[in-house]
């Protein structure tokens, strides 16, 4: 250094080195597994590829920045106008509004209903949402509920009262497009909807209803309409109790041209860990005009179609968060150096990224599998096996992918070192937003119990379908030597699972209830493994597909078998657990 040169550090100079920022490139072109999956399965390849490539370009070029703007310019509530009148105006950012227009024009809901790719339309739609989700500023949340509402309305035969709403929900015209809310949770409980719902529906002379109640969580409350649950008040003023007392209602949230609320008071906006880009409100329903959509007392069963769709969207968001953090982390590893080498040249760092990649691939393949099954069901080509699999795999996928997303995104943040913890990089938001995925739309335990529900209600047929399909997926791969260790591990786990299921059938319900989470995890890990192996056995697969399958199958694929041997589900377990959790000072 020239001793007369300006000092390297001074008041005006902070040094010459600055860290390179990870670059978001076209997320479609950056995802070879998505490309290979579509090449293998999607018959309308050309149209879908060009749509995804163009959309990917928009995402990295402009949409990602809007998503960031939604985060830094979050919604706010203006309860009163300057003259003191109650207005409850939820102000959202211009970027959030742009997301709505984009969603319409890109057909992010419409694709699922136009069905121009036939039974593969859902795969097309979910692939698109998969690219969009981490850049969407959480707009995928209202889209999930919008899709779910359209699905419910369609499954009820599109009643005339909601024909126009249905066309808006599925429209590509930004001027006409509507979003929907899903108001199920009240203060007494969000999992136990039957015990939690206090909302009363008062019949009106014209056959409509007025709703009175308090909705404790309502997300994307700037929606145009909503589906919700309530109890119809009888002539004598009584209301039917329990789940069978719940009915499904449709309500328009903003009925006048100025978008003002009628019969709704916004109590406050929630102060949330993540999902801050979108408003989540507490609402007092004070005579909200509504239409009953389905038979009285069939509320939960009727809204179940919405749950299926939103749970699939949730899983798309989970898989997409993993994919995005891996894309950014691997890019960063090419730019950042430590100990004289780029991060990508440190084998231990690369191993960390590779483990994240395996999780992301497994989740992606199960998301696509469930989307495929949904598409088959909706186009009338699903076999009974497909329908059973769709019912079983939807909660399995949702609960498992949400947990994976939190773990992978957390690991991903660490791969940026301290920068991963800095709010203004946009990275921490990925983790904060992932954390909700296991809570809303059914927590991990509640969905594990949903797995038991569907096994019981189908008299075990859903499990039979599961075993049949898993074995079929392994069939071709079992002849390929490089995949032998993975196939062997999966066959072993499947047989342990089979033994568990057989023996559990003879045990009291409390046994299965304690095993529910481990059972769901076993179902997820084995099926994801089978999908990885099946994908790797395709002639167009890459060596990395085989490697991913082998790595995945090294873990404990069937926790239910190992825990059972330890007696974790015995009648004495809850007492021991209670003593452990509520241990006291001597
Ligand atoms: O959280 C929410 C929105 C957040 C924003 C959305 C973002 C989405 C992704 C965004 C990505 C960025 S909305 C709130 C969501 N709430 C839940 O998910 C509730 C969780 N709790 C459950 O799922 C419970 O298991 C309940 C509420 C379903 C339990 O209700 P019941 O009434 O006690 O259950 P029953 O009696 O067993 O079931 C009643 C009927 C039965 O049908 P029938 O009468 O014909 O036998 C069940 O088979 O409902 C049927 N059923 C189902 N059918 C229940 N669950 C299902 C299901 N999953 N699929 C099909
Ligand atoms: P609880 O039901 O009280 O659960 C507490 C804990 O108990 C959980 O860990 C759960 O797993 C466990 N648990 C409960 N029952 C059992 C059981 N039988 N066995 C074992 N464990 C059990 N709801 C809407 O309706 N619309 C929305 O738009 C909406 N948006 C949301 C947005 C955000 C950001 C969040 C965080 C929530 C939102 N929710 C919404 C609410 C959400 O769906 C509920 O919070 C969720 O379903 C859980 O219900 P809860 O909060 O009452 O928890």
562 has pLDDT over 90: no
Given a contact cutoff of 8 angstroms between Cβ atoms, the answer to whether 202 and 166 are in contact is no
Percent of the chain surpassing pLDDT 90: 91
Domain count, the chain: 2
Do the domain assignments include residue 432? no
* pLDDT for the residue numbered 256: 75
Residue 215 C-alpha to ligand 1 middle, in angstroms? 17
Residue 254 bridge partners (DSSP)? 261
Q: What are the tens digits of pLDDT across the range 260-309?
A: 888 999 999 999 999 999 999 999 999 999 999 999 999 999 999 999 99
Domain range for 471 is 444-581
* pLDDT for the residue numbered 147: 98
**In terms of C-beta distances under 8 Å and separation of at least 24 residues, what long-range contacts does 447-450 make, across chains too?**
447/311, 447/395, 447/396, 447/398, 447/399, 447/520, 448/395, 448/399, 448/516, 448/517, 448/519, 448/520, 449/513, 449/516, 450/395
Ligand 2, atom 20, residue with closest C-alpha? 445
Average pLDDT for 476-486? 92
Reported confidence tier of residue 1, pLDDT bands at 50, 70, 90: low
190 lines ligand 2 (CB under 6 A): yes
Q: What are the tens digits of pLDDT across the range 113-144?
A: 999 999 999 999 999 999 999 999 999 999 99
User: Which three-class secondary structure string do you get for 524-549?
Assistant: HHHHHHHHHHHHHCCCCCCHHHHHHH
Domain end among 239, 273, 301: 301
Ligand 2, atom 49, residue with closest C-alpha? 190
Atom of ligand 2 nearest to the CA of 220: 28
Do the domain assignments include residue 586? no
Atom of ligand 2 nearest to the CA of 181: 28
Mutate to test the pocket of ligand 2, among 190, 282, 303, 306 (most ligand atoms within 8 A of CB): 190
Do the domain assignments include residue 551? yes
User: What's the pTM value of the predicted model, to 2 decimals?
Assistant: 0.97
Do the domain assignments include residue 538? yes
Ligand nearest to the CA of 134: 1
Reported confidence tier of residue 16, pLDDT bands at 50, 70, 90: confident
Do the domain assignments include residue 279? yes
Domain end among 253, 275, 301: 301
**CATH number of the domain that residue 186 is part of:** 2.40.110.20
Reported confidence tier of residue 476, pLDDT bands at 50, 70, 90: confident
Complex ipTM value: 0.99
Residue 552 C-alpha to ligand 2 middle, in angstroms? 30
186 lines ligand 1 (CB under 6 A): no
201 lines ligand 2 (CB under 6 A): no
Q: What are the tens digits of pLDDT across the range 332-375?
A: 999 999 999 999 999 999 999 999 999 999 999 999 999 999 99
Do the domain assignments include residue 242? yes
Q: What are the tens digits of pLDDT across the range 410-429?
A: 999 999 999 999 999 999 99
Residue 218 bridge partners (DSSP)? 281
Do the domain assignments include residue 42? no
Domain end among 281, 301, 321: 301
Q: What are the tens digits of pLDDT across the range 236-267?
A: 999 999 999 999 999 999 877 777 888 999 99
User: CA 357 → CA 17, 179, 330, 345, 520, distances in Å?
Assistant: 30, 34, 10, 17, 22
Ligand nearest to the CA of 139: 1
Q: What are the tens digits of pLDDT across the range 517-550?
A: 999 999 999 999 999 999 999 999 999 999 999 9
Do the domain assignments include residue 252? yes
Average confidence score pLDDT of the chain:
95
Strands 225-232 and 180-183: parallel
Count of CA atoms in the C-beta half-sphere (13 A) of 461: 11
* pLDDT for the residue numbered 102: 98
* pLDDT for the residue numbered 94: 97
Reported confidence tier of residue 465, pLDDT bands at 50, 70, 90: very high
């Amino acid at each position: 250094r020239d001793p007369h040169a300006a000092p390297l550090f001074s008041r005006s100079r902070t040094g010459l080195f600055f860290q390179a920022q990870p670059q978001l490139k076209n997320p479609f072109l950056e995802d070879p597994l998505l490309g290979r999956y579509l090449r293998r399965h999607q018959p309308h390849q050309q149209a879908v590829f060009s749509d995804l490539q163009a959309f990917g370009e928009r995402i990295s070029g402009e949409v990602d920045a809007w998503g960031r703007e939604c985060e830094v310019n979050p919604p706010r509530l203006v309860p009163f106008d300057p003259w003191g009148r109650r207005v409850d105006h939820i102000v959202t950012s211009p970027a959030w509004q742009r997301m709505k227009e984009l969603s319409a024009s890109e057909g992010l809901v419409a694709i699922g209903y136009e069905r121009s790719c036939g039974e593969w339309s859902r795969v097309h739609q979910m692939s698109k949402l998969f690219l969009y989700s981490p850049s969407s500023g959480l707009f995928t949340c209202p889209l999930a509920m919008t899709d779910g509402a359209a699905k419910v309305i369609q499954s009820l035969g599109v009643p005339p009262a909601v024909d126009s709403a249905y066309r808006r929900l599925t429209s590509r015209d930004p001027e006409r497009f509507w979003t929907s809310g899903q108001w199920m949770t009240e203060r007494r409980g969000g999992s136990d909807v039957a015990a939690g719902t206090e909302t009363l529906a008062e019949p009106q002379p014209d056959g409509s209803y007025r709703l009175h109640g308090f909705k404790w969580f309502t997300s994307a409350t700037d929606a145009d309409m909503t589906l919700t649950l309530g109890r119809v008040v009888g002539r004598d003023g009584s209301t039917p109790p329990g789940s069978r007392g719940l009915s499904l209602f449709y309500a328009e949230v903003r009925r006048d041209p100025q978008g003002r609320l009628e019969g709704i008071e916004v109590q406050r906006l929630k102060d949330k860990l993540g999902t801050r880009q979108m408003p989540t409100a507490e609402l007092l329903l004070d005579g909200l005009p509504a239409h009953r959509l389905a038979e009285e007392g069939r509320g939960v069963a009727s809204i179940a179609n919405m749950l299926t769709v939103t749970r699939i969207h949730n899983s798309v968001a989970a898989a997409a968060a993993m994919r995005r953090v891996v894309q950014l982390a691997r890019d960063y590893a090419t730019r950042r150096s430590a100990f004289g080498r780029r991060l990508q040249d440190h084998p231990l760092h690369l191993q960390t990224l590779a483990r994240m990649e395996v999780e992301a691939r497994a989740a992606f393949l199960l998301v696509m599998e469930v989307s495929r099954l949904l598409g088959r069901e909706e186009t009338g080509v699903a076999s009974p096996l497909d329908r059973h699999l769709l019912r079983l795999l939807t909660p399995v996928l949702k609960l498992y992918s949400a947990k994976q997303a939190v773990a992978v995104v957390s690991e991903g943040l660490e791969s940026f070192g301290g920068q991963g913890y800095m709010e203004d990089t946009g990275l921490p938001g990925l983790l904060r937003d992932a954390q909700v995925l296991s809570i809303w739309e059914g927590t991990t335990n509640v969905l594990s119990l949903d797995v038991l529900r569907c096994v019981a209600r189908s008299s075990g047929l859903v499990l039979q379908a599961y075993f049949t399909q898993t074995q079929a997926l392994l069939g071709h791969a079992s002849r390929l030597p490089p995949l032998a260790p993975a196939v062997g591990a999966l066959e072993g786990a499947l047989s342990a699972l089979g033994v568990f299921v057989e023996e559990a059938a003879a045990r009291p319900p409390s046994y299965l209830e304690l095993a529910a989470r481990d059972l769901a995890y076993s179902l997820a890990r084995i099926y994801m493994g089978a999908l990885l192996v099946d994908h790797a056995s395709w002639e167009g697969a890459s060596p990395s597909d085989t490697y991913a399958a082998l790595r995945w199958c090294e873990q404990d694929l069937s926790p239910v078998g190992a825990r059972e041997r330890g007696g974790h589900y015995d009648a004495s377990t809850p007492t021991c657990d209670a003593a452990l959790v509520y241990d006291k000072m001597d």
